[in-house]
A = this chain, B = another copy of it.
Amino acid sequence: MDSGNVTWILVSGALVLFMTPGLAFFYGGMVRSKNVLNMLMMNFWCILVVPLLWVVVGYSLSFNGSGSVLGNFGRAFGRGFDFGGIEPAVMIFLATFAAITPALISGAVADRMKFAAWAIFVPIWSLLVYVPVTYWVFAPNGWLKARGSLDFAGGTAIHVNAGIAALAVILVLGKRKGWPRDGAPPHSMPLVMLGTGILWFGWFGFNAGSALAANGVAVQAFINTFLAASAAGLAWALVERIRNGHFTNLGVASGIVAGLVAITPGCGYVTSMSAIAIGLIAGVVCSVAIGMKFKFGFDDSLDVIGVHLVGGLVGSLLIGFFADPKGLGFDFAPGLFFGGNLHLLGEQALANGVTMAYSFVVTFAIAKALNATMGIRVTADRESEGLDVTEHVETAYNNSERTMGRSH
């Protein structure tokens, strides 16, 4: 076991774990102060429940197997690992991916979902949606991977998957009271920017860590992650400047995240200049895409669809154009711009299409089932009063100097 590689994987794992709180702050800053703790809790919940599930059965079902559709129980309950090998490190590194994926969905359901329903939704969704899709896309014998689609760090399996699932859930959940006429600006933009900083920082582990070794591919993935984030942040900012006349912080933050999403699938398959191009395209496309929700009338509170679904699709399909095995010096299918044919693009489209169809249908069914049994939406009164107090009996900010009675 190479100590440099182990270090790289472990550090990357820590970085990706840190992304979930980062996402919590990114989302939490955007909601009203009466709902911020609910948002944080939905995210933290994912890093409590999913990693346990992952070690117990998730990893085994997602990666351990020889079939084309699902793994087996060979690594269940933490058994079967070679203690001196790299696999345990890889397993725990991937736990952080499993955890953050449902967390992405939380941005769409903000301000109105019953926490108890979310608490149950997360592990069910992980098992029924995340696990099989991951097997198809990432496992050595997964059928989408075997056909030739490329997904370096989780564009299809994570962002497209979570993005389309977000759509399915909010179709069941319904719009927030007053939406789209009423709304509220982000309650704390510094919290949003803190989240953005943490996400970017952590995403180096997400993408470059996915090389699973500290090698040339990891370096290139790191470079691409960096450049795509910069390019997309810039592009989104410029779109806003041209369209509305100002550079906004939320625009920059959104662009950075969109760029990170878009480069995720291709970060190990493209060169630096292509990464810049992908970032620029993603920044422009996503900044326009987030307007869709008003057009089509679905209330995607914090633009999970506009950023993760669209950004993931853009990035995944662009592999079909920009994949450049010669430029990077190792072996995979080339994209259209670098000597390839339409085959790769077709496989990318297929992989994303299949993922979207499967994820949408199963997620919709889960949401419907939960709604029919326990209900997934808070009452209108609770929605008005705020979810922090009603769902969690807590208040985010108590800036007063006052003292109050307490009992216990």
A residues contacting B by CB (< 8 A) are: 1-8, 10-11, 13-15, 17-18, 20-22, 24-25, 28, 32-34, 36-37, 40-41, 44-45, 47-49, 51-52, 55, 77-78, 83-85, 88-89, 91-92, 95, 115, 119, 178, 180-191, 193-194, 196-198, 200-201, 204-205, 208, 213-216, 218-220, 222-223, 226-227, 230-231, 233-234, 237, 244, 246-250, 252-253, 256, 271-273, 276, 291, 294, 327-329, 386, 391-406, 408
Given known contacts A1-B216, A40-B190, A184-B402, what 15 new A-B pairs fall within 8 Å (CB)?
A3-B213, A3-B214, A8-B10, A18-B200, A41-B249, A52-B234, A83-B329, A89-B222, A182-B403, A189-B394, A190-B396, A190-B397, A194-B194, A247-B391, A247-B392
A92 and B49 contacting across the interface, CB-CB below 8 Å: no
A3 CB contacts on chain B under 8 angstroms? 2-5, 7-8, 213-215
A32 and B401 contacting across the interface, CB-CB below 8 Å: yes
Would you give the shortest CB distance from A15 to chain B, in whole angstroms? 7
Would you give the shortest CB distance from A97 to chain B, in whole angstroms? 13
A247 and B52 contacting across the interface, CB-CB below 8 Å: no
Docked Cα-Cα span, A108 to B215, in Å, equals 41
7 contacts between A and B (CB under 8 A): A3-B8, A10-B208, A25-B194, A32-B401, A47-B233, A83-B220, A91-B223
Q: Which of B14, B40, B230 is in CB contact (< 8 Å) with A51?
A: B230
B402 and A214 contacting across the interface, CB-CB below 8 Å: no
Residue with the greatest number of chain B CB neighbours at <10 A, chosen from A77, A204, A233, A256: A204
A15 and B15 contacting across the interface, CB-CB below 8 Å: no
Taking A41-B252, A83-B328 as contacts, is the C-beta distance between A214 and B398 under 8 angstroms? no
| Nearest B-chain residue to A28, judged by Cβ | B190
Docked Cα-Cα span, A190 to B41, in Å, equals 11
A55 CB contacts on chain B under 8 angstroms? 223, 227, 272, 276
A115 CB contacts on chain B under 8 angstroms? 247
Would you give the shortest CB distance from A54 to chain B, in whole angstroms? 9
B25 and A190 contacting across the interface, CB-CB below 8 Å: yes
A5 CB contacts on chain B under 8 angstroms? 3-4, 7
Taking A183-B406, A397-B189 as contacts, is the C-beta distance between A10 and B219 under 8 angstroms? yes
Q: Which of B6, B17, B291 is in CB contact (< 8 Å) with A200?
A: B17
B246 and A18 contacting across the interface, CB-CB below 8 Å: no
B17 and A201 contacting across the interface, CB-CB below 8 Å: yes
B401 and A34 contacting across the interface, CB-CB below 8 Å: yes
Q: Which of B6, B201, B204, B403 is in CB contact (< 8 Å) with A183?
A: B403
